[in-house]
Amino acid sequence: MDDPVRAIKERIDIVDLVSSYIPLRKRGRSYVALCPFHSERTPSFTVSRERQTYHCFGCGKGGDIFSFVMEMENLPFREALEKLAPMAGVQLDSGPGRRRSRDVLEEALRFFRDALASREGAYAAAYLERRRLDRRALELFEIGWAPASWGALRDHLSSLGFSREEMLEVGLLVEGSKGPYDRFRGRVIFPLRNETGRLVGFGGRLVDGEGAKYVNSPEGPLFEKRKFLYLLNMAKHAIRERGRVILVEGYMDAIRCHLTGFSEAVACLGTSLTEEQCGVIARHADRCLICFDSDLAGQEATIRGMYMLNRLGVDVEVVRLPRGKDPDELLSQPDGASDFRRALESTLPLPVFHAEVKGGGGSLKETGDLLDQLATLSPAYLKRHMPRVAEALSLLPHEVEREVAGRRSSKPRVAEPARREASVPPSRGDSREDLWEWGLCSLLWTNPDLRSRQSPEALLPLLMREEARVLVLALLCGERPEELESRWHRTGETVFLSVLAKGGAFIDGLGLDDPLGAVLLNLERNRDLRRYEALKVKIARGDQVTQEDLREFFALAAKMKGRG
């Protein structure tokens, strides 16, 4: 399709979309709600069906259906586009190669799931039953089975017309000396879906025999393990609602969390957090509960990942589980959910956990690496936990503070991490003068007849804000709104969409019969006032003032006095 952005916007009504996330109430020509992007008691979030935009008067956020999904789901534009396209019945042109890659993965998943349900999969089914996964869980998480054959999947996909090159590209086959063979053999299969729910690869768990316990799809055009978090597609709404991520290690840990009500859990598929995974977590929540097994203490790489996460503005806390237990084992016990909930309520802040790992030797010489890491934390954050850190190290707080300060002074100053605020963020500085300019942009955007009757020469001198001048000039020079919007989405530009949303909400709030007349009148008044003030300063400074300047000054004074 030539313009999927336009097609999607034509088929999805913003009121229907927003109301699928939050309850809307009709008020006049618009719909209102409590803003989903900041805490408030009085609704300041408005949605306009006429303009197909939303705007919050409290926090200033606004835009169209794409902006809304990007904000609500913490998605980049491309993923928001992929999410909305099926809802609109729009087929995205992702290129024949990419479509074939997704097709071959989906067909492989059907093969794995059919294999689990077959007689050949009875052994795997019995294993999963012992792991307390019932039929509902197998369906919900799409679990399958890879037969212990070197070519069962390869032959099946070949019979459907997929080439071996296509299978190799997505990691389903491994190239051997005698030709390609199945990567996954004799393994329980977990499908790996990205944040928008697209299948990007597989993970396989060995049930019996020799070999690596877990095998994942290799990195390729669709799967990037360093960025991947298992079950994020299912967990993101719970993460937003509960304001936290529970980070576990493996597939079964994440699945068990979801089955027992802890649906904000995701798995990093290992204990070494990557920088990219930390970035994904930070996009979704400002609190992360690390819930690996009890052997975590000895893994310095894992602890370094926690500090990386903290530097991105996330409060990192470590969940202490009973020795020898992982989340799956604990939650599978009769009172496991209650025990797990208590563990989540008694977490250790990162610096306290790290200090307890090091132990209380009472010697600063033995804590050098810990002190180096503590020095990367913001002073305000560390100060809150310093008494417990010092106690864990059997040292006095001032001793630890002195050592940390010395290490910090030799490094760039660490600023307090930027953290999400629950209250209204600072004003974006939209003055009344700005809103009249945004209002003009909105009127021209929605009314082609107005655009045909105005000229750049008449309107541009009335505008001060560069955003308004650029947008008005583009519209009056023949740029189509649909083309501009598609371009903004492709390039990630959000300023102009916000301008239009604010301007439209402002004009609606005025309730005027002749909004363009009112806008032009106020823009002219603002222009005259700016010129009057500039001449007034010039005269007061004693600069070279011409007779023309004086005539203009007094004419403007009389004109403004006449306006009242």
pLDDT one-digit tens code per residue, 352-393? 999 888 776 656 666 778 888 899 888 888 999 999 988 888
405's CB contacts (< 8 A; 6+ apart) are none
The pLDDT, as a whole number, for residue 564 is 53
Q: Residues 112-157: pLDDT tens digits?
A: 999 999 999 999 999 999 999 999 999 999 999 999 999 999 999 9
One-letter amino acid of 556: L
On whether both 78 and 101 belong to a single domain, the answer is no
On whether both 217 and 240 belong to a single domain, the answer is no
| SS3 state at 216 | strand
Q: Residues 235-288: pLDDT tens digits?
A: 988 998 898 999 999 999 999 999 999 999 999 987 688 889 998 898 888 899
Please report whether residue 514 resides in a domain. yes
Which of 53, 88, 123 delimits the end of a domain? 88
On whether both 358 and 472 belong to a single domain, the answer is no
The domain that holds 356 is classified in CATH as 3.40.1360.10
- Whether the per-residue pLDDT at 415 is higher than 70: the answer is no
Measured CA angle at 470 (ends 465, 473), to 5 deg: 120
The pLDDT, as a whole number, for residue 538 is 80
- Considering the chain, what is the average pLDDT of its residues? 86
Instruction: Output phi, psi for 559, to 5 deg.
Output: -65, -45
The pLDDT, as a whole number, for residue 426 is 33
161's CB contacts (< 8 A; 6+ apart) are none
On whether both 337 and 244 belong to a single domain, the answer is yes
Structural domain of residue 490, as residue ranges? 432-562
Q: How would residue 424 be classed by pLDDT, with cut points 50, 70 and 90?
A: very low
On whether both 237 and 357 belong to a single domain, the answer is yes
The pLDDT, as a whole number, for residue 363 is 62
Q: Residues 502-525: pLDDT tens digits?
A: 888 888 888 888 888 899 999 988
13's CB contacts (< 8 A; 6+ apart) are 49, 52
* Tokens linked to 563: 């306006």
The pLDDT, as a whole number, for residue 563 is 59
On whether both 61 and 151 belong to a single domain, the answer is no
Which residues lie across from 46 on neighbouring strands? Answer: 32, 55
Task: Work out the burial of residue 40: count CB atoms within 10 Å of its CB; fewer than 13 is exposed, 13-18 middle, 19 or more buried.
Answer: middle
| SS3 state at 203 | strand
Tell me the C-alpha to C-alpha distance, in Å, between residue 326 and each of 62, 177, 249, 295, 318: 43, 40, 9, 9, 13
The domain that holds 50 is classified in CATH as 3.90.580.10
Please report whether residue 375 resides in a domain. no
**Number of domains the chain contains:** 4
Strand runs labelled E in 362-415? none
Say how far apart CA 549 and CA 527 lie, in whole Å: 16
Which residues lie across from 192 on neighbouring strands? Answer: 201
Please report whether residue 258 resides in a domain. yes
On whether both 72 and 54 belong to a single domain, the answer is yes
The pLDDT, as a whole number, for residue 428 is 47
Please report whether residue 102 resides in a domain. yes
On whether both 437 and 492 belong to a single domain, the answer is yes
Please report whether residue 68 resides in a domain. yes
Which range has the worst mean pLDDT, 2-6, 199-203, 532-536? 2-6
On whether both 109 and 169 belong to a single domain, the answer is yes
The pLDDT, as a whole number, for residue 407 is 85
The pLDDT, as a whole number, for residue 420 is 44
Alpha-carbon torsion 95, 98, 100, 106, what sign?
A: negative
Q: Are strands 287-290 and 315-318 parallel, antiparallel or unpaired?
A: parallel
Q: Are strands 199-206 and 179-182 parallel, antiparallel or unpaired?
A: unpaired
The pLDDT, as a whole number, for residue 421 is 40
Please report whether residue 73 resides in a domain. yes
On whether both 206 and 249 belong to a single domain, the answer is no
The more confident residue out of 427 and 87 is 87
Contact yes or no for 515/550 (Cβ under 8 A): no
The domain that holds 137 is classified in CATH as 3.90.980.10
On whether both 237 and 359 belong to a single domain, the answer is yes
Q: Which residue has the tokens 């071959």?
A: 104
Q: Percent of the chain beyond pLDDT 90?
A: 39
Which of 204, 222, 240 delimits the end of a domain? 222
On whether both 83 and 100 belong to a single domain, the answer is no
The more confident residue out of 230 and 77 is 230
Please report whether residue 382 resides in a domain. no
Helix or strand holding residue 188 (H, E): strand 187-193
Which of 163, 193, 222 delimits the end of a domain? 222
- Whether the per-residue pLDDT at 419 is higher than 60: the answer is no
Please report whether residue 371 resides in a domain. no
DSSP for 60-94, written as a single string: --EE-HHHHHHHHHT--HHHHHHHHHHHHT-----
